C-alpha cells in the first residue's frame, strides 16, 4: 500500500497530530498506520515493548514520550496523507511550531478524562498563529472518567465556542462501542476495538433525540457557509438539506479555519477509520489553501506562488535530522513546482546554489528513494550542506524568499564538559550537529570561564541532549547546575557621550557620539534611530556606531546578560578629517552604551513560567504553599471531577528546577504539572543585587 501513486493534488492531505502530552497522539497515529495498511499490528506506546513507529528514537521508546516530530505517508480511500506526529511536551514545542508552519490541517487529540489541558491550549494557539484548519478527536473516552460531552464543554470554555460534534459516541466509558454519524444519521459500531471494520446500522433508540438535537446545531452552523443554502434552510427546513450539501458546507467552514468538527472514541481502535474519513472529507488539500507569499531576494517586492507543478520551484526546509545511515536529512514542503533528485536549487536564504543528492519518502526512521517531489508534497532531501530550519529552496532562475520560522530563545543553560580529553573534539561535533537539528538548542563558549554552555527549553530538553550525546556520538559528559537565562532592560531615559581618542604616533583614532537611550515597547527588541543633522557624524560612520551599540547591548551592561527592548537615538557627535575611522566610531558607540544604560535605571529580568498543576484536593494546600514559597502567584483554581483541582499560575524559572520530583513527593506521586515560558518580568531588587554580585564576582 505504501507505494500507491496519487497524482491529483486535490487528493493530498498534509496533516499534523497535535496534543497535550499523554493525550494519545502517538497511539492514534499508530492506529492510523494500521488501518491504512502500513502496519500489520499496532505497537502501543506505553506498557508494551515501546515499539511505536513514529517514536523511533531510543529515548522515546524508553520514556514513552514523543521528542521529535516524525513524518509518515499513508493512503486512504484514494487519498495520500502525509502525517506528522508531533511532541506534546512543552520542552519540544519547536517541533510543533515548525510542523504547523508547513502543514495544511491538523487533528487535535484530547484526553477524554482530562478535557483541555495546558499544552492543548499552547498547540491550539500555535495552530491559530499559522491559520491551520483543525478537527478534534476526544480520545480515551472508553476509560474510567472519560466523558465526550464534558471534554466538548471544556473545548467551548477554553478554546473555541465554534466546536461542534459530527459524531456522538455510543455507550459510556468501558461500554463505548462506536459512533453515531450526524451527516448520514447512521450508527457505526464494533464489538471489539481491534475489529477489522465498523458495522453500519440504525441509531440506538435511546440516542435518536440526542442525535437529532446535535444534527440540528450542525446544520444551522453549516448553512452559514453558503447564502443559497441558508435560504433553502429557512424556506424548506432542515430536512431539505441533503447529506452532500451538508458535507460541502461544513468542509468550507472547516477550511476557513474558525470552525471545528469534533469526534471521539478509543484511539487504538477501528473507530480511527472515522477520523481518517474526517481528514479526507473536511481538511484542506494543497489546492484549497491560499497561495504562498514571499519576497524577491533582490528587490524585496512581494511575490506569490500557487500550488501548481507548472510554477517555478518553491520549497521550505522545516526540519533537519541526522540519520545514522544517510547523514543530514532535510525535511521540505514543496509549495510550487517540482524538485528532482540530482538537480540544483538556489538556497535563497544564503544566496548559494546547492545540489540535491537524493530524495526520500519518509516512514518515521525508514525511507524509500523517490525521483521527484511535486507541489503540495512533503519529503526529505539528502545532500544539502548549508540548509537550516526555515531556509527557502527555489528555482535559481526564479528566486523567492519565504518567511522563515521564528523560535523562542531558550531560558535554561548548563555548563557541559567531556569526561576525557579524547572526547573534546567528538563533543564539539556532536553538539554542533544537535544544534543544527534543533533551533531551540544553542551552544556557546563562555569567554570568561572558557566553559561550553548549552541552552534549551527546559531540564528535560537538556537531559535528552546529554543522553543523545552519549548514545549517538559516544561522548560521556559532566554537567553543571542548571542556570537561568536572565536579561537586562532599562526603565528610564538617559543621554550619554561616547568619545574614543587614541594618539600614539602615526595616525590616531577619533570617534565622538551623543546617544539617547530609552525603553522600547516590550518584545520590540533593539531599535536604532539616526537623527544626525548635517555632517557632524559622516554617513559612513553611523552604521559602525549602531553595531557598537548593538554588540555592547548583547553582552550586557550591569550583569553581563543581553539587554532587551532598547531604543538608541544617535543625535550628535564630531569627527576628525584624518583620525576618524569605522573602528573609532564603533568603539565610541560602545562607550556611550555602557555609560547611558547605567544612567537609564537598568533592571534585571527573569524568565517567568506559566504553570498548570493537576492535584487531588487533599494535597492542594501543600501545593499552593510550596508555590508561594517559590515566589509563585496563583492565577486561577478550578474543579475537575473526582476531587481533582487544577491550579494555574506564574512562577520564576529560577525556583522551579527539580520541581517535578518535589511535586511527586508532596502528593504521593498523584499530582502532575506542565510549564511553558510566559515572558520576562523584573527581578525583585534584593534578589537582583544577589545575582549581579554573584555574576560580577566570577
Instruction: Between 269 and 185, name the one with better pLDDT.
Output: 185
| pLDDT one-digit tens code per residue, 323-335 | 667 777 888 999 9
Position 544 confidence tier, pLDDT thresholds 50, 70, 90: very high
Asked whether the predicted pLDDT for residue 435 surpasses 90, the reply is no
Delineate the domains of the chain, giving CATH numbers in brackets: 9-202+260-286 (3.40.50.300), 292-402 (2.40.30.10), 412-485 (3.30.70.870), 488-600 (3.30.230.10), 606-696 (3.30.70.240)
Highest mean pLDDT among 104-108, 125-129, 355-359: 104-108
CA atoms within 13 A of residue 578's CA, in its CB half-sphere: 5
Residue given cell 573602528 in the structure block: 583
Which residues, at least 6 apart from 697, have a Cβ–Cβ distance to it below 8 Å? none
Position 212 confidence tier, pLDDT thresholds 50, 70, 90: very high
Asked whether the predicted pLDDT for residue 504 surpasses 70, the reply is no
| pLDDT one-digit tens code per residue, 357-379 | 889 886 645 678 889 999 999 88
Position 275 confidence tier, pLDDT thresholds 50, 70, 90: very high
Tallying the residues shown for the chain, one arrives at 698
Q: Give the DSSP per-residue string, 105-143.
A: EEEEEEETTTBS-HHHHHHHHHHHHTT--EEEEEE-TTS
Which segment of 205-209, 642-646, 687-691 scores lowest on mean pLDDT?
642-646
| pLDDT one-digit tens code per residue, 438-476 | 888 899 887 766 788 899 888 878 888 898 888 888 888
What residues does 451 pair with on adjacent strands? none
Which segment of 63-72, 134-143, 343-352, 354-363 scores lowest on mean pLDDT?
63-72
Asked whether the predicted pLDDT for residue 527 surpasses 60, the reply is yes
In this prediction, residues 30-42 reach a mean pLDDT of 73
Structure confidence at residue 132 (pLDDT): 93
Structure confidence at residue 366 (pLDDT): 65
Pick from 79, 2, 85, 1: nearest CA to 370: 2
Structure confidence at residue 88 (pLDDT): 47
**C-alpha 644: how far from its chain's center?**
29
Q: Is 468 helix (H, G, I), strand (E, B) or coil?
A: helix
Structure confidence at residue 340 (pLDDT): 92
Which residues, at least 6 apart from 498, have a Cβ–Cβ distance to it below 8 Å? 511, 512, 513, 514, 515, 548, 587, 588, 589, 590, 591, 592, 593, 595
Which segment of 181-195, 224-238, 435-449 scores lowest on mean pLDDT?
435-449
- pTM here is 0.74
8 A C-beta contact, residue 673 and residue 659: yes
Structure confidence at residue 214 (pLDDT): 96
Asked whether the predicted pLDDT for residue 170 surpasses 50, the reply is yes
Strands 527-530, 260-265: pairing is unpaired
Position 386 confidence tier, pLDDT thresholds 50, 70, 90: confident
Position 387 confidence tier, pLDDT thresholds 50, 70, 90: confident
| pLDDT one-digit tens code per residue, 562-597 | 999 999 999 999 999 888 999 999 999 999 999 999
Structure confidence at residue 57 (pLDDT): 42
Asked whether the predicted pLDDT for residue 222 surpasses 80, the reply is yes
Per-residue burial over 223-255, b if 16 or more Cβ lie within 10 Å, else e, is bebbeebeebbeeeeeeebeeebbbebbbbbbb
Which residues, at least 6 apart from 63, have a Cβ–Cβ distance to it below 8 Å? none
CA torsion sign for 532, 537, 541, 546 is negative
CA torsion sign for 320, 325, 326, 332 is negative
Which segment of 46-50, 194-198, 555-559, 610-614 scores lowest on mean pLDDT?
46-50
Q: What percent of the chain has pLDDT over 90?
A: 50
User: Vertex 591, ends 587 and 596: CA angle to 5°?
Assistant: 145
8 A C-beta contact, residue 414 and residue 462: yes
In this prediction, residues 85-102 reach a mean pLDDT of 68
Structure confidence at residue 550 (pLDDT): 95
Residue given cell 530550519 in the structure block: 389
Q: Count CB-CB contacts under 10 A for residue 419.
A: 11
Asked whether the predicted pLDDT for residue 125 surpasses 70, the reply is yes
Amino acid at each position: 500500500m505504501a507505494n500507491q501513486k496519487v497524482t491529483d493534488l486535490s487528493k493530498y492531505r498534509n496533516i499534523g497530530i497535535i496534543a497535550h502530552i499523554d493525550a494519545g497522539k502517538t497511539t492514534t497515529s499508530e492506529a492510523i498506520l494500521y488501518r491504512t495498511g502500513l502496519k500489520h499490528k499496532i505497537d502501543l506506546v506505553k506498557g508494551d515493548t515501546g515499539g511505536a513507529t513514529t517514536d523511533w528514537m531510543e529515548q522515546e521508546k524508553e520514556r514513552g514520550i514523543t521528542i521529535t516530530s516524525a513524518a509518515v505517508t499513508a493512503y486512504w480511500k484514494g487519498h495520500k496523507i502525509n502525517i506528522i506526529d508531533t511532541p506534546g511536551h512543552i520542552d519540544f514545542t519547536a517541533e510543533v511550531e515548525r510542523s504547523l508552519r508547513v502543514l495544511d490541517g491538523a487533528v487535535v487529540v484530547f484526553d477524554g478524562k482530562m478535557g483541555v489541558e495546558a499544552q492543548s491550549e499552547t498547540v491550539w494557539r500555535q495552530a491559530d498563529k499559522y491559520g491551520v484548519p483543525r478537527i478534534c478527536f476526544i480520545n480515551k473516552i472508553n476509560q474510567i472518567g472519560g466523558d465526550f460531552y464534558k471534554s466538548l464543554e471544556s473545548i467551548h470554555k477554553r478554546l473555541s465556542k465554534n466546536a461542534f460534534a459530527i459524531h456522538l459516541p455510543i455507550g459510556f466509558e468501558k461500554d463505548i462501542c462506536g459512533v453515531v454519524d450526524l451527516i448520514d444519521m447512521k450508527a457505526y459500531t464494533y464489538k471489539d476495538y481491534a475489529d477489522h471494520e465498523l458495522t453500519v446500522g440504525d441509531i440506538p433508540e435511546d440516542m435518536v433525540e440526542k442525535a437529532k438535537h446535535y444534527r440540528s446545531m450542525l446544520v444551522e452552523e453549516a448553512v452559514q457557509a453558503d447564502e443559497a443554502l441558508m435560504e433553502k434552510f429557512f424556506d424548506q427546513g432542515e430536512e431539505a438539506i441533503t447529506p452532500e450539501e451538508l458535507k460541502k458546507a461544513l468542509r468550507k467552514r472547516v477550511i476557513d479555519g474558525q470552525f471545528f468538527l469534533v469526534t471521539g472514541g478509543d484511539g487504538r481502535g477501528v473507530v480511527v477509520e472515522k477520523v481518517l474519513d474526517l481528514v479526507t472529507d473536511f481538511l484542506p488539500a494543497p489546492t484549497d489553501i491560499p497561495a504562498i507569499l514571499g519576497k524577491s531576494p533582490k528587490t524585496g517586492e512581494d511575490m506569490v506562488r500557487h500550488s501548481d507543478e507548472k510554477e517555478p520551484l518553491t520549497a521550505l526546509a522545516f526540519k533537519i535530522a541526522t540519520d545514522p545511515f544517510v547523514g543530514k536529512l532535510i525535511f521540505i514542503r514543496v509549495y510550487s513546482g517540482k524538485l528532482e533528485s540530482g538537480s540544483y536549487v538556489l538556497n535563497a536564504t544564503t544566496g548559494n546554489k546547492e545540489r540535491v543528492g537524493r530524495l526520500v519518502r519518509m516512514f518515521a526512521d525508514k525511507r524509500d528513494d523517490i525521483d521527484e517531489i511535486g507541489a503540495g508534497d512533503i519529503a526529505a532531501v539528502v545532500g544539502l550542506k548549508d540548509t537550516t530550519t526555515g531556509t527557502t529552496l527555489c528555482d535559481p532562475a526564479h528566486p523567492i524568499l519565504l518567511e522563515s520560522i521564528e523560535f523562542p530563545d531558550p531560558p535554561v543553560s548548563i555548563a557541559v564538559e567531556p569526561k576525557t580529553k579524547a572526547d573534546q573534539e567528538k563533543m564539539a561535533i556532536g553538539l554542533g550537529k544537535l544544534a543544527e537539528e534543533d533551533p531551540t538548542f544553542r551552544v556557546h563558549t563562555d569567554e570568561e570561564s572558557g566553559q561550553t554552555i548549552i541552552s534549551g527549553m527546559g531540564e528535560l530538553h537538556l537531559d535528552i541532549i546529554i543522553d543523545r550525546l552519549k548514545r549517538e556520538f559516544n561522548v560521556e559528559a559532566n554537567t553543571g547546575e542548571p542556570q537561568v537565562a536572565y536579561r537586562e532592560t532599562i526603565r528610564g531615559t538617559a543621554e550619554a557621550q561616547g568619545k574614543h581618542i587614541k594618539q600614539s604616533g602615526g595616525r590616531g583614532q577619533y570617534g565622538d557620539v551623543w546617544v539617547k537611550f530609552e525603553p522600547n515597547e516590550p518584545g520590540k527588541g533593539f531599535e536604532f534611530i539616526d537623527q544626525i543633522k548635517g555632517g557632524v557624524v559622516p554617513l559612513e560612520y553611523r552604521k559602525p556606531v549602531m553595531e557598537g551599540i548593538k554588540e555592547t547591548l548583547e553582552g550586557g551592561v550591569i550583569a553581563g546578560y543581553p539587554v532587551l527592548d532598547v531604543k538608541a537615538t544617535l543625535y550628535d557627535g564630531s569627527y576628525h578629517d584624518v583620525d576618524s575611522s569605522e573602528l573609532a566610531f564603533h568603539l565610541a558607540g560602545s562607550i556611550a552604551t555602557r555609560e547611558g544604560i547605567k544612567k537609564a535605571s537598568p533592571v534585571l529580568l527573569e524568565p517567568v513560567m506559566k504553570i498548570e498543576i493537576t492535584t487531588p484536593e487533599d494535597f492542594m494546600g501543600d501545593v499552593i504553599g510550596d508555590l508561594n514559597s517559590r515566589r509563585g502567584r496563583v492565577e486561577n483554581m478550578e474543579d475537575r471531577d473526582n476531587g481533582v483541582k487544577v491550579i494555574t499560575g506564574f512562577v520564576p524559572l529560577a525556583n522551579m528546577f527539580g520541581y517535578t520530583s518535589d511535586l511527586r513527593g508532596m502528593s504521593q506521586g498523584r499530582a502532575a504539572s506542565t510549564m511553558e515560558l510566559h515572558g520576562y518580568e523584573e527581578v525583585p531588587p534584593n534578589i537582583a543585587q544577589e545575582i549581579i554580585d554573584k555574576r560580577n564576582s566570577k
